[in-house]
Amino acid sequence: MTIEAIQEELIDEFSMFDDWMQRYEYMIDLGKSLPLIDEKLKTDDKLIKGCQSKVWLNSEMKNDKIIFTADSDAIITKGIIAVLVRVFSNQEPQAILDADTDFIDEIGLKEHLSPTRANGLVSMIKQMKMYALAYQTQANS
Amino acid sequence: MSFDIHNIRKDFPILSRKVNGYPLVYLDNAATSQKPQQVIDAIVDYYSNYNANIHRGVHSLSQEATDAYEAARHKIQNHFNAKTACEIIFTAGTTQGINLVANGFASLLNKGDEIIVSALEHHSNIVPWQMLCEKTGAVLRVIPMNEEGTLLMDEYYNLLSDKTKLVFVNHISNALGTINPIEEIIEKAHSVGAAVLIDGAQSCSHIKPNLQELNVDFYVTSAHKMCGPTGVGILYMKEEWGNKLPPYQGGGEMIAEVSFEKTTYAGLPHKFEAGTPNICGGIAFGVAIDYLNAIGFDAIEAHENELLTYATNKLLEIEGLRIYGTGQKTSVISFNIEDLHPYDIGTIVDKLGIAVRTGHHCAQPIMEFYKIPGTVRASFAFYNTLEEVDALVEAVKKAKMMLS
């Protein structure tokens, strides 16, 4: 599935909810269903800075696609990560670099996009794109 | 004047607004207090009617502004009971006051001298002293605390020696609300010849300090914690220290005479007030102090204690909830719920219109002590109500339900 298609799918899913509470409950469920990350990967160098909760992000290359795995000690943050992993994991670096993130607004999580927001959604996206750039640079050299 | 919470709330326009569709319940008073109309009006009045630079103009507007600014200094002197108005130095806030003292001590300290701070400090109370120690070779010592969040005074006595040059503690901890025994801390420090700086940022909205009676050498606080504007605060220093410490910043206001060969500095307090100050802020700070005194600190304390007791009991009914800081304290409740991240709780209660602080409250050493990533902190002011405590408790219950 392309990034755009996954984003459309998420917009569809979130459009079923009438209020913030249902949206958050869904996010919390997504967070709980996020595959567990290998404890050995939860090292300080995988921590994303700028989050009030801890966020570990790991990436690896498989068949020209980047696989992201991540975890957080806060459940709402984990829900946000689950959304991002679903959108960006198992995609080619160029597709990740080209992707826009307008869907976040459309699924009603715009408030988390503000750079002053302590959960670091912006930092997470930035870090994912940095990995994509690094893999692509590596592939081209 | 009797304490009428409904009339008091009418003075604060912000308290009637909605957040996320719910009436605002503002419980982040330890971060900053809200402002009454009287203070807002004073700011508007200053810029509308007598804005001018002070201390230098012969024109009438400048005289009016100077008189109002200096009148505010006198109000502050009276409120804190300083001996003279010149001992009250206007600053940009608590942090600047601390840095001013730390900078001044750079020329007074020698290698091996010691500075004592407490384990309950805000980052801004730790970093300037670490910088000072790096510069001078002095050593930073820390008064430890116990599980209740109370300082271990015996350990403090053991740290004191003739090497101790300065002791620095906050009156009330911002993260836990613990009230420190500053009278005892000051007296014991003086017995070994050390100076004492007290940070009143968290206490000044709850307790009216008597600086002469405390016999403290330095005291800092910020106007915005006590219903005044941001960007202004005071540093009190005993006159003898004012003469001993070198100026902090060079510039206008702080000089007596300048030539290219030599500059002589102005006397207190102007020696430490380089440049055009926050004139409007200083004047509005004076108005805020008048406002608080009209309500009365005894009434404020009584109401806040009622809120604290009520909220403590109600919150503790929630299973798995733990409060950090259980000693002698003011109206601050720092808590966590078993297995839940404070950030998650804070996010949900915010959606319900309730403003609390989450995180480490710029006091990471305290969080490390308890081995937690942070806490949820609800801090109450005299304008909060028991109904607002109920709203907090209901919101926390809802958060717990959603997150568990």
Q: How confident is the model at residue B1 (pLDDT cuts 50, 70, 90)?
A: low
A33, pLDDT greater than 70:
yes
Q: How confident is the model at residue A82 (pLDDT cuts 50, 70, 90)?
A: very high
Q: What is the pLDDT of residue B190?
A: 98
| CATH label of the domain that carries residue B349 | 3.90.1150.10
Q: Which of A37-41, B25-29, B83-87, B285-289 has the lowest mean pLDDT?
A: A37-41
Residue with the bigger pLDDT between A69 and B249: it is A69
Q: What is the pLDDT of residue B121?
A: 85
CA dist B335 and B326 (Å) reads: 11
Q: Which of B351, B358, B402 sits opposite A28 (nearest CB)?
A: B402
Q: Which of A131-135, B83-87, B268-272, B293-297 has the lowest mean pLDDT?
A: B268-272
User: Quick check: is B41 in a domain?
Assistant: no
B186, pLDDT greater than 90:
yes
Cβ atoms of residues B255 and B266 within 8 Å: yes
Please give the full DSSP string across B297-315, using - where no structure is assigned. HHHHHHHHHHHHHHHHHHH
Instruction: Say what percent of chain B tops pLDDT 70.
Output: 100
Cβ atoms of residues A53 and A62 within 8 Å: no
Mean pLDDT of A120-139: 88
Contact state of B402 with A119 under an 8 Å Cβ cutoff: no
Chain B's closest residue to A120, CA to CA, is B343
List the catalytic residues of B. 362
Average pLDDT, chain B: 94
Where among B293, B321, B351 does a domain terminate? Answer: B293
Instruction: Give which of B264, B242, B226 is closest to B75, Cα–Cα.
Output: B226
Helix axes B386-403, B342-351, angle to 10 degrees: 120
Residue A56 phi/psi, 5-degree rounding, is -105, 130
Same domain, B325 and B227: no
Interface residue of A76, A77, A117 to substitute, partner B, most B CBs within 10 Å: A76
Residue numbers in B near A24 (CB within 8 A): 347-348, 351, 402
Q: How confident is the model at residue A25 (pLDDT cuts 50, 70, 90)?
A: very high
B380, pLDDT greater than 80:
yes
Where among B264, B293, B322 does a domain terminate? Answer: B293
Same domain, B70 and B187: yes
B258, pLDDT greater than 80:
no
Structural domain boundaries, residue B11 = 5-29+296-403
List the catalytic residues of A. 51
Q: Which of B145-159, B171-185, B239-253 has the lowest mean pLDDT?
A: B239-253
Where among B246, B267, B293 does a domain terminate? Answer: B293
Same domain, B272 and B301: no
> Which phi-psi region, left, alpha or beta, contains residue B318 (left: φ > 0; alpha: ψ -120 to 50)?
beta
CA dist B367 and A118 (Å) reads: 18
Mean pLDDT of B199-211: 95
Mean pLDDT of B354-380: 89
Q: Which of B343, B358, B402 sits opposite A24 (nearest CB)?
A: B402
Three-state SS at B149: coil
Contact state of A53 with B402 under an 8 Å Cβ cutoff: no
Number of domains in chain B: 2
Contact state of B403 with A73 under an 8 Å Cβ cutoff: no
Same domain, B289 and B301: no
Q: What is the pLDDT of residue A112?
A: 66
Same domain, B219 and B266: yes
Mean pLDDT of B176-203: 96
Mean pLDDT of A12-16: 91
Q: Which of B344, B359, B373 sits opposite A76 (nearest CB)?
A: B344
ipTM: 0.85
Same domain, B268 and B314: no
Same domain, B266 and B370: no
Same domain, B66 and B17: no
DSSP code, position A48: P
Instruction: Give which of B81, B91, B10, B8 is closest to B285, Cα–Cα.
Output: B91
Closest CA–CA distance from residue B359 to any residue of chain A (Å): 6
Q: How confident is the model at residue A114 (pLDDT cuts 50, 70, 90)?
A: low
Mean pLDDT of B7-11: 97
Residue with the bigger pLDDT between A107 and B85: it is B85
Q: What is the pLDDT of residue B40?
A: 98
Mean pLDDT of B337-351: 93
User: Quick check: is B267 in a domain?
Assistant: yes
Q: Which of A86-95, B66-75, B117-126, B200-209 has the lowest mean pLDDT?
A: B117-126
Contact state of B343 with A74 under an 8 Å Cβ cutoff: yes
What DSSP element (H or E) covers B335?
strand B332-337
Interface residue of A52, A119, A121 to substitute, partner B, most B CBs within 10 Å: A52
Same domain, B285 and B308: no
Contact state of A20 with B351 under an 8 Å Cβ cutoff: yes
Cβ atoms of residues B155 and B188 within 8 Å: no
| CATH label of the domain that carries residue B258 | 3.40.640.10
Q: What is the pLDDT of residue A51?
A: 64
Same domain, B302 and B271: no
Same domain, B210 and B264: yes
Q: Kindly state whether B343 is in contact with chain A, defined as any CB-CB distance less than 8 angstroms.
A: yes
Q: How confident is the model at residue A38 (pLDDT cuts 50, 70, 90)?
A: confident
CATH numbers and ranges of domains, chain A? 3-140 (3.90.1010.10)
Q: How confident is the model at residue A115 (pLDDT cuts 50, 70, 90)?
A: low
A45, pLDDT greater than 60:
yes
Same domain, B273 and B323: no
Contact state of A77 with B343 under an 8 Å Cβ cutoff: yes
Closest CA–CA distance from residue A75 to any residue of chain B (Å): 7
